[in-house]
Amino acid sequence: MCINVSVKTLQRWDREGILKAKRTPTNRRYYTYDQYLEFKGLKNNVDGKIVIYTRVSTNNQKDDLINQIEFLKDFANAKGIIVDEVIKDIGSGLNYNRKISILHVFKRSYFKCK
C-alpha cells in the first residue's frame, strides 16, 4: 500500500483537501485503507468489521495475549486499518468445549458471504 509521494506532499494535500488525513488523539496524521482505495480509484469489496483474533493456550500466558493484541493493533494502525473488535481466546486447541472459538467469530451475523 504505497502512493509514492513525500510527507510534504501529503501535508499539502491534507491542507488542500485532496487527501484529507485523519488524526490520532496526539494529532498525528493517518490514512485508512478505504482512503487509500478511494485515492487509487479502487473499490473496497469488503463489507463488515475488522476483527483481531488472539489466542493463548493457558491462563499463565495472559501477558502474551496482551502483547499479541498490542502488536496486531499497531500493525493494523501502520497499515491504515481501523480495528472494530478484538476477540481474546484462552484455551487449548484440543478443548472443544471452551466458550469461544474462531468458528464462533465466523458465525456472527456481521460477516457477509458473497
The ranges of the chain annotated as CATH 3.40.50.1390 are 46-114
End-to-end CA distance of the chain: 24
Least confidently predicted of 13-17, 56-60, 68-72, 95-99:
95-99
* Distance in angstroms (rounded) separating the CA atoms of residues 19 and 70: 28
Q: What percent of the chain has pLDDT over 90?
A: 22
Nearest to 85 by CA among 111, 114, 33, 50: 50
- pLDDT for 98 beyond 80: no
Query: Which residues are part of the catalytic machinery?
Result: 57
pLDDT for residue 94 is more than 70: no
List, for residues 48-93, the tens digit of each pLDDT value. 678 888 888 888 998 999 999 999 999 988 888 888 888 888 876 6
The confidence band for 114, taking pLDDT boundaries of 50, 70 and 90, is very low
- What pLDDT does 72 receive? 93
SS3 17: coil
Residue 82 CA, distance from chain mean position: 5
**CATH number of the domain located at residue range(s) 46-114 in this protein:** 3.40.50.1390
Q: Give the CB-side neighbour count of residue 57, counting CA atoms within 13 A.
A: 3
